[in-house]
A and B are shown apart, each in its own frame.
Chain A
Amino acid sequence: MPLVLNVNGAKHEVDVDPATPLLWVIRDSLGLTGTKFSCGIAQCGACTLHVDGQPVRSCSFPVSLAVGKTIKTIEGVSSDGNHPLQRAWKELDAPQCGYCQSGMIMSALALLERKPNPTDADIDAAVTNACRCSSYHRVRKAIHLAADLMKAEA
């Protein structure tokens, strides 16, 4: 029986094994390839997206658990690529290879939704995504800048 998923504000019917990790349904059934595969065991966070506003490592999250919930992926962060986080990321030229950055931004977004003025310690605790190029230095600055931009616009 098809499952109904609510992704970035739109409903989708997918006919997949309910045990399939949400990542593969998002990438292959729905064609949203911004969410990345890297470790497959919920370690690195490249596959981070939101389920009911919570950051989830979708490579290890069965699609069946997402039914009836609200899913947000990197493609749903803004319609024009200009969410304050995205603007801050561009201003600081944060990514290098960029492969982990969708997950990094989704973790940062969940943090800012919970804590609009995060401390460095808050960032350390919430943004646990792995970046092999080490964009960390600029990512930290970009999270602080995004917080400032969001406050200025509030």
Chain B
Amino acid sequence: MSGPSVNRRDVLAGAGAFVLGFYLPPRVSQAQTAPAHGAAWYTEPAVPEINAWIVVEPDDTVVIRIAQTELGQGVWTSNAMMVAEELQCDWSKVKPIYASANRDAREKAPAWTLEVPGDGATDPNGGGEPTFGNRDRRGGFGIPDSLYRRMRTNAASSVKDGRYYLQLAGAEARERLMLAAANEWRVPVDEITAKDSVLTHAKSGRSTTYGKVAALAARTPHPNPQAIALKPPEMWTLMGTEQKNLDIPMKVTGETKYAIDVRLPGMKWAAVKTCPVYGGDVKSFDAAAIRGKPGVRSVHQFPIPDPKLTRGRVFSGGIGVIADTWYQAKTALEALPVEWTVPPERAAFTTANMRAALTAALDAPGRVRVNTGDVDAVFARADRVVEATYSTPYLPRARMEPGNATVLVTDDRVDIWIGDQSPQETRFSAAQITGIPEENVYLHMCHLGGGYGRNGNGPQAEQALMLANANRGTPIHLLWTREEDFIGTTYRAMGMARLKAALDADGWPLALDVRTSMQQDGFGPDASFDVASRYYVPNYRFSNHTTNFHVPVGTRRGVGQAAHEFYRESFIDELAHAAGKDPYRYRRELISRTELPFKADMIKALDMAAEMSGWGTPLPRGTVRSIALEERGVETGNSATISAMVHTVSVSRDGRVKLERVDVAHESGFGLVNPLSVKKQIEGQITWFYNDAMHQACNIDNGAIAENNFNRFSISRIDEDPLQINIQFFPTAHWLVGMGHDRGTSVQAAIANAVFQVTGKRFRDLPLRQHDLTWS
């Protein structure tokens, strides 16, 4: 039950670099802070809960607690749908609220909910194959056994990991409501039916509502919870239907409270500036220079956040200015002279020398992950060899809401208002930084203004905790400038790949050698290439090659997948061209020759996308079609997500690229929870990866990120959005991996291939806007 023991003195000593500025803000009185405690968005129910996930109010309102964070992916709605499907309640009366991360620190999940029911990813009646199957307390690498299980929002796994225990929660509550009615009416429970929040006993003509028996149900234990079965997909009536997202009405009126909108009595604002070179720290600063600036309360130095609180990543030390308003704090900070201590080896990094290092890594021996047949022997006698080297840059998530958090530390309690993809880890950070145990840490979760990767959160919470801990009694709202957000985020690692194939006389590959390089701690080095080649080749070798860089890297709409699918699908197109074959039929034939477990699903996706697009029918000059496969997990035979897209692309003579139309053939597995949210995810990711293909890159200049605001870091606007996106689903016989990332990755290779078809020029380095795309 108790958190990791924390010695307060050690913690304070650990933060020894903490130097206070010229004066502290006045301490807010207990009376002023009181309303902040337990206020905001998490409220204890006025009536007893049925279980930790569900409260039914007397007016039949069904409160469903959500343990993931709504960041646009629709989890607020899809998680509620999974509970409501089993609960069989009136969907129009469902009200989601965030689950309490504090309760999660103090209570355990019921033992009968810990095991995943059924037989894995290919069992339609079971709980599937959660990504994070093993349990651990902080949820860093598994699903915890704490009350709300895995509170992370990552790996596109909210449905995949949570479905079984959310369905179980709904089913248990339904059965207890039925039991309560049966007890009241003194009839056998199996004569009761439950539908749309109404309980009916047909024989006696009696009925009641969930709200009327909820209090009784709360006191009626389930006699045999181990026997509760999940509803299989063919019995779903709510899951699998398109439901409008429950968070939307407040998002069109400006009422949604994101973390940036949090206001508390006595709250002060913090603007921060950290060393732009990761691993750098403050050498000196002149607080006196901003003494007397309007609203300014204090100036603080804070150290590099302890890497064990930031998943091993080294960010920077910096300065925080606390003022009455954020604009005052930011303006004062801009006038504050700060000198940095920068490790010289880190300041020496530039994009050019990092590219050179990645290229050198490709030439050096790597870690061989797959080696089938005898690749070298085939190349030694090959008549025809095709080789290409591709690259992708550092890429941030650049969510629209800049990093921010509000923290109030008192002597025995921490309150944090934040949009966060990993509240269990932030709770741990709070305990480590303040010395106050996790059981006394309260997170007030807010919707996030964009997510795109848990590991991108950066040290916003840790910085705010350090500043608030030095200002106990005063709520401190830290907000990053956009420029600071580019320092505080993590990046998808810059990467390169060299692919080399030996072709037979008909143009089919005899051997394929794939080498990928990225920095040592880059995420997903094996994605898309591991275990076996997706496109058949009798001799296959895949190796990883690494080097050490200082940029903190993390997940970003997936791990290695997106870049690797650009490399793979580009190269397959190059091989089809070399073979003089149609790139759709070339792909189809090579997939059909494999032994991959889901090859029939991949072929289906290719066929369907080609047919939807009118593949092969004439187009105006300068407009072409390009096809590519997207897959995640096909090498495993377990969970997978498979789709194919045909992108119709025009390139004008003056080099303007337009994605005109996208035809998407996407599997639905055993079932999608909310197909509307799935469509939105697909639409959004097409543009996400269009940006990666055409526009986005962060370069490193003297060790720092060069493009650090939206004037230099481009985001496409509505004028570049394809006017036509056609999406069709087809059923398959496994559970899906998830929809939050790795969809639409095909647009990268498709655009590069389209540019080649139109202009005759092949570009292998993203983004494409850096190249001359004109033709005549």
Contact = CB atoms under 8 A, between A and B. Distances in A.
Nearest to A124: B719
Contact of A105 (B252, B401, B710, B722): B252
B254 interface: yes
Contact of B449 (A24, A32, A86, A98): A98
A95 B255 CA distance: 14
B254 A35 contact: yes
A131 interface: yes
A89 B248 contact: yes
Contacts of B721: 134, 136-137, 140
Given A35-B254, A81-B252, A123-B718, A40 B482 contact: yes
A58 interface: no
Interface in B649-669: none
Contacts of A5: none
Interface in A79-99: 81, 85-86, 89-90, 93-99
B699 interface: no
Nearest to A24: B327
A55 interface: no
Interface residues of A, number: 58
B388 interface: no
Contact of B683 (A24, A32, A34, A138): A138
Contacts of B711: 39, 41, 43
A124 B327 contact: no
Interface residues of B, number: 59
Given A97-B71, A97-B399, A140-B721, A39 B482 contact: yes
A97 B676 contact: no
B401 A120 contact: no
A83 to B, nearest CB: 9
Interface string B53-86: 0000000000000000001111000000000000
B725 interface: yes
B51 interface: no
Contact of A86 (B73, B253, B722): B253
Interface centre among B258, B449, B685, B722 (most CB of A within 10 A): B449
B688 interface: yes
A34 B253 CA distance: 7
A44 to B, nearest CB: 5
A28 interface: yes
Interface in A38-79: 38-41, 43-44, 46, 73-75, 77-78
A80 to B, nearest CB: 9
Interface in A88-134: 89-90, 93-102, 105, 120, 123-125, 127-134
B254 A96 contact: no
A47 B644 CA distance: 37
Interface in B693-744: 709-711, 715-719, 721-723, 725
Interface in B391-408: 397-402
B249 interface: yes
Contacts of B247: 98
B253 A74 contact: yes
A60 to B, nearest CB: 12
B537 to A, nearest CB: 35
B325 interface: yes
Given A24-B326, A36-B449, A132-B450, A97 B72 contact: yes
B72 A124 contact: no
Contact of A97 (B255, B448, B687, B719): B448
A97 B451 CA distance: 8
B95 interface: no
Contacts of A124: 717-719
Given A37-B402, A97-B400, A130 B710 contact: yes
A4 B397 CA distance: 39
Contacts of A125: 719
B294 interface: yes
A113 to B, nearest CB: 17
B261 A28 contact: no
A38 B482 contact: yes
Given A24-B325, A38-B401, A81-B252, A136 B717 contact: yes
Interface centre among A35, A85, A97, A99 (most CB of B within 10 A): A97
Interface centre among B248, B479, B676 (most CB of A within 10 A): B248
A25 B482 CA distance: 19
Nearest to A130: B715
A43 B715 CA distance: 10
A96 B452 CA distance: 12
A34 B250 CA distance: 10
A46 B248 contact: no
24 contacts: A24-B325, A28-B327, A33-B254, A33-B260, A35-B254, A37-B260, A39-B711, A41-B709, A74-B253, A81-B255, A93-B245, A93-B676, A96-B680, A97-B448, A98-B251, A100-B400, A105-B252, A123-B718, A128-B718, A132-B398, A132-B400, A133-B72, A137-B683, A140-B721
Given A41-B710, A99-B449, 16 more contacts: A32-B254, A33-B261, A34-B255, A39-B482, A39-B710, A78-B253, A90-B249, A95-B72, A96-B73, A98-B248, A125-B719, A128-B717, A130-B717, A134-B716, A138-B680, A138-B683
**Nearest 4 A-B pairs (CB), nearest first?**
A34-B254, A99-B449, A96-B72, A97-B72
Interface of B: 71-74, 244-245, 247-249, 251-258, 260-261, 263, 294, 325-327, 397-402, 447-452, 479, 481-482, 676, 680, 683-688, 709-711, 715-719, 721-723, 725
